[in-house]
Structure 1
Amino acid sequence: MQKKILALTALASACGAAMAQTSTSTLELYGLVDAGLNYVSGTQGASTRLVSGIMDGSRLGVRGNEDMGGGWRALFVLENRLEVNNGTVGNRPQSGSQLPDRLSAAASLGLPGALQTAVSGVASTIGSQVGVNLRNGFWDRQAYVGLVTPVGGILAGRQYTPAYEVFATFDATKTQSSLSAGQVSAFPPTIDIRVDNALAYRIQLDGLSAAAMMTFDGASPSNANRLKAINAIYKAGGWSVGAGYNTRNNELGESSLKSAVFGATLAAGPGTLSGMVGSVKDDHPTGLSAIPTALIAGGATAGQAAVVQGAFATALKQDSRVYNLGYTLTVGQLTSTVAVSKYDDRTTFDADTTSFGVAWTYALSKRTDVNLVLTRFNNNPLAQAAPGGAGFLGGFTKTAGTDSNNVAVGLRHRF
């Protein structure tokens, strides 16, 4: 089932209502609760856990619209992340602070004593940042206000990025479950999902929707962490096609993560065939500029600090392709999706991961369904990805080259 909470969808609904001159203003409390048992093989620690967000991340939201006439409408969305299993607003992967072996190697350069301890501390810091909403933001999923006009809408706040909206539209599972293409390419992140301080212009014209976005966070230099992004999606009859592009700078203002996504769907027989390809490039990974200062404070020379920083940068650089192909069929109350995804790493590590499997959703009612997911991850000798879910990261297997299986059974309710 397609997600209905993306900013793009919210705007499309608002624009359509504005054009129809609806006179009523609305305020709505909504949400989704998703939890179940999740088994993952090949990882450290317990293999079976009760988790939140197998098919969709659990959330609680408030949204409103005010019709001002003449095709003008004000709207807002505030959406909280909710972890059903423990009542918190963030989570860590099953592998905790563990890093891939290829990244941990950057912290093992044979340096003496206290200096090696300082280097290991850098690795631990990076590992501690692997997770979802670790800053514990209450409105982590979305928080924006917007004005819809007869010529488009302006939205300001925390929003989904244009490239990710295309990814979520054309991924065979709509980013649901461990079967999603996002699961084989989760670390380093191949796409920015949401961003703070974003200003977006969005339009909806018949079957065409499009968006342009830029962030303004007041950082120094002025272009530090800045994201620029665009997308366009066209839907007509039994087919659709779309493309999106994000480009973001790192904290120094250097060009960092670039994500391009192309996708299409086609009604094929009784179901829908979908395909997607993504291109990822990052020559200046974010968050590494403080490494030399920390190491020099620990006794390293400037030359040693530069070597260590370069080792981490090499381990985190990206040059890859992400592929996804799937087929979805609904018969009565049962929806089945089969899909295969591949993360094609084109760096010297060649850390490719391929996933394949099936997800079943059985609707007990319009609001409630039960879900079963079976996914297999095949990791190349230097790859180490483990399956996660729509609401949490899978983290890493015990060692590079270890494959992993996922069996997830859950209950999802919308309100």
Structure 2
Amino acid sequence: MKTKFLAAVIATCFAAPVMAQSSVTIYGIADAGLMKQSGQTLRVVSGIADGSRLGFKGSEDIGGGFKAIFNLEARVELDSGSQKPTLLSDEQGLFLTRGMGAGFNSVLAPLGPLGGALSAGVLQSIRGGFQVKGSAAVNAEGALFDRTSMVGLITPFGAFLMGRMYTPGYEVFAASDVFESGTAGAWGGITGGTAGFTNLGVEIRSSKSIQYRIATPAGLGGSLMYGTKGSGYLNRYNKFYGAAATYKANGFDVGVAHNRGYDQSDRTSLVTSTIGGSYTMGEFKFFAGYHDQRNRNSVLLADYTAGYNAQIAPGIAAQLVPAGPLAPVLAAGMRTVFLNNIGANTQLDAASYQVGLHYRVGAGRVMASVAHQNDRSNSDSDANLFALGYDYNLSKRTDIYTVVAQINNKNEGQFIPGAAGSPGGFAKVPGSNARAVQVGIRHRF
């Protein structure tokens, strides 16, 4: 019984197959393909079904039912050779600056036509600062082992891990996703705020964290995570908590989880609750999931404020010199408009669900899903995702796939289908429908 328990715990600590005892393994995934989004040119994209990666993992049996383990996993962008994926769409996201244009115009009204020109120029500068074309959309810090970097100890009583790891909430979310958190059909393509990739709807990983994991031969499992200062996906939380309970047996792979982060001022930030999973019955595998998301205090507010103070405010002050004594008042009014709107536009209040299935046909499988994001904010920017795909195994380690997906946006929504390794970016027009077609190949080694 103890041997089975230990094996079950080890299996929960690594995404890839369990290693032999006292060993170090080099592993990875090479995934790339062609992608065409609405209004965009055909392009080669890395990490469509799975993020391309190179990893190192190892274990050492130290006796008495104890094992030391480690896992280091680096992001690899096959299309460029870098570790910093960019947005797939070239279109500008507009939601973060919602309300700023009208606010700036009101403040600068005393300047007449000069005020209107200055307002338009400032708004464009802010948008350009939020979304620098070609800049990293993920792993902006350029961390070498951005995907995973952890060390731990497997004991007869569970696993104790430390480092940067997947959060309990994300693991349940990913297990509920028909498209396994990849391709244009990924459920995560519509979760999060209308501001897009800058307003995450699930904490994927957390740095500077400790985790306890347990799994029993009967299929019951669970995890507890605590993140210290500098934790969270963006390394900005003051602290972070996560917990999950799972059941993986008799055809079921289901779970319930909760994540909660706290911003730099120790205010509650992104909070998510997730329930879902899958059930396998013959050639069918059915999926269902529900994901609740709330964020009143984005950890990025400090970055946005610092950027405004350093890059925007000096230019405003220089252009307001002709206003004489009125200049400081106008500059202060502009800053207030920015802070009030960016605070509101980075908030998140939404609930999402997805249902779908896999159907195995020979060496392949058909995948189909429907997902809905209910935006509970005053924007009411709901989104519906429809996806259909086919995956064919050429061998045990190599498969080819194709996926077609469409997102129907409402009001100010600009969601557009993306890929496992890169955010989709933004649709050209808020409230418009956005589509994507993908064909790719994935090799595991």
Is TM more than 0.5 here? yes
Tell me if the contact between 1:14 and 1:148 (Cα under 8 Å) persists in the aligned partners: no
The 3 A distance-change label for structure 1 pair 277 and 218 is closer
Find the counterpart in structure 2 of residue 315 from structure 1.
Answer: 345
Aligned pair 1:388/2:413, yes or no?
A: no
Report if the CA contact (8 A) 2:172-2:254 is conserved. no
Partner of residue 103, structure 1: 96
Counterpart selection for 1:360 from 390, 395, 399: 390
Query: Would the aligned equivalents of 2:97 and 2:123 in 1 still touch at CA under 8 Å?
Result: no
- Quick check: 1:156–1:198 contact (8 Å CA) kept in 2? yes
Aligned to 1:245: 258
When structure 1 is superposed on structure 2, of 328-337 and 71-80 the one drifting more is 328-337
In the other structure, the counterpart of 1:288 is 301
Contact 1:210 1:231 in 2 (8 A): yes
Matches within 5 A, 1:250-261: 250-261=263-274
Q: Distance in 2 between matches of 1:15 and 1:268?
A: 23
Q: Per the alignment, in what secondary structure is the counterpart of residue 305 of structure 1?
A: helix
Counterpart check, 1:265 vs 2:259:
no
Query: Counterpart of 1:248 in 2: which secondary structure?
Result: strand
Would the alpha carbon gap of residues 70 and 213 (structure 1) be closer, same or farther in structure 2, given more than 3 Å must change? same
- Counterpart of 1:255, as a letter, is T
Q: Is the 8 A contact 2:379 2:411 kept in 1?
A: no
Name the amino acid aligned to 2:211: A
Shift of the 335–196 alpha-carbon distance from structure 1 to 2, 3 Å rule, reads same
**1:163 correspondence with 2:169:** yes
C-alpha separation in 1, matches of 2:64 and 2:10? 22
Maintained 8 Å contact 1:166/1:263: yes
Please, which moves more after superposition, 293-302 or 167-176?
A: 293-302
Task: Tell me whether 50-59 or 130-139 shows the greater mean CA deviation.
Answer: 130-139
Show the counterpart of 1:55. 49
Superposed, 1:318-329 pairs within 5 Å as 318-329=348-359
> Could you list the runs of 4 or more consecutive aligned residues of structure 1 that deviate by over 6 angstroms after TM superposition?
12-17
For 2:17 and 2:42, locate their aligned partners in 1 and report how far apart those are by CA, in whole Å. 44
| 1:139 match: secondary structure | coil
Q: Which residue of 2 aligns with 1:345?
A: 375
Which of the numbers 120, 124, 129 marks the counterpart of 1:125?
A: 129
Confirm or deny: 8 A CA contact 1:76 1:144 kept in the other structure: yes
Say if 2:166 is the partner of 1:154.
Answer: no
1:215 aligns with 2:221: no
CA distance in 2, matches of 1:397, 1:9: 40
2:35 to 35, 38, 41: 38
* Structure 2 counterpart of 1:394, one-letter code: G
Q: Distance in 1 between matches of 2:444 and 2:147?
A: 16
How has the CA–CA distance of structure 1 residues 378 and 116 changed in structure 2, closer, same or farther, with 3 Å as cutoff? closer
Distance 2:37 2:119 in 1: 36
Closer/same/farther in 2, CA of residues 125 and 200 from structure 1, 3 Å limit: farther
Q: Is it true that 1:233 corresponds to 2:239 in the alignment?
A: no
Deviations 1:338-380 (A, max 9, x none): 1111111110111111111211111110011110101111111
Is 1:197 aligned to residue 211 of structure 2? no
Residue of structure 2 equivalent to 1:3: none
Q: 1:39 is paired with a residue of what secondary structure?
A: strand
Among 406, 413, 432, which residue is 1:402 paired with? 432
Q: Which structure 2 segments of 5+ residues have no match? A: 1-8, 109-114, 318-329
Structure 1 residues 84 and 214: alpha-carbon distance in aligned structure 2, compared to 1, 3 A threshold: same
The CA distance in 1 between the partners of 2:17 and 2:75, in whole Å, is 26
Alpha carbons 1:12, 1:204 under 8 Å: kept: no
User: What is aligned with 1:4?
Assistant: none
- Computing the radius of gyration from Cα coordinates, the structure with the larger value is 2
Unaligned runs of 5+ in 1: 1-6
Aligned to 1:332: 362
Deviations 1:292-314 (A, max 9, x none): 74566554554542332111121
1:311 aligned counterpart, secondary structure? helix
Shift, 1:58, TM fit: 0.4
Size of the alignment, in residue pairs? Answer: 397
Specify the alignment match of 2:184 in structure 1.
178
Q: Secondary structure at the match of 2:25?
A: strand
| Matches of 1:379 and 1:346, distance apart in 2 | 14
Farther-moved stretch of structure 1 (7-16 vs 367-376): 7-16
Tell me what 1:11 maps to.
13
Greater helix fraction, Structure 1 or Structure 2:
2
> CA–CA distance in 2 between the matches of 1:412 and 1:397?
27
The structure-2 alpha-carbon separation of the partners of 1:296 and 1:364, relative to structure 1 and needing over 3 Å to count, comes to closer
Q: CA contact under 8 A between 2:59 and 2:68: conserved in structure 1?
A: yes
- 8 Å CA contact retained: 1:246, 1:259: yes
Taking the aligned partners of 2:408 and 2:16, their CA distance within structure 1 comes to: 43
Alpha-carbon distance in structure 2 between the residues aligned to 1:241 and 1:143 = 26
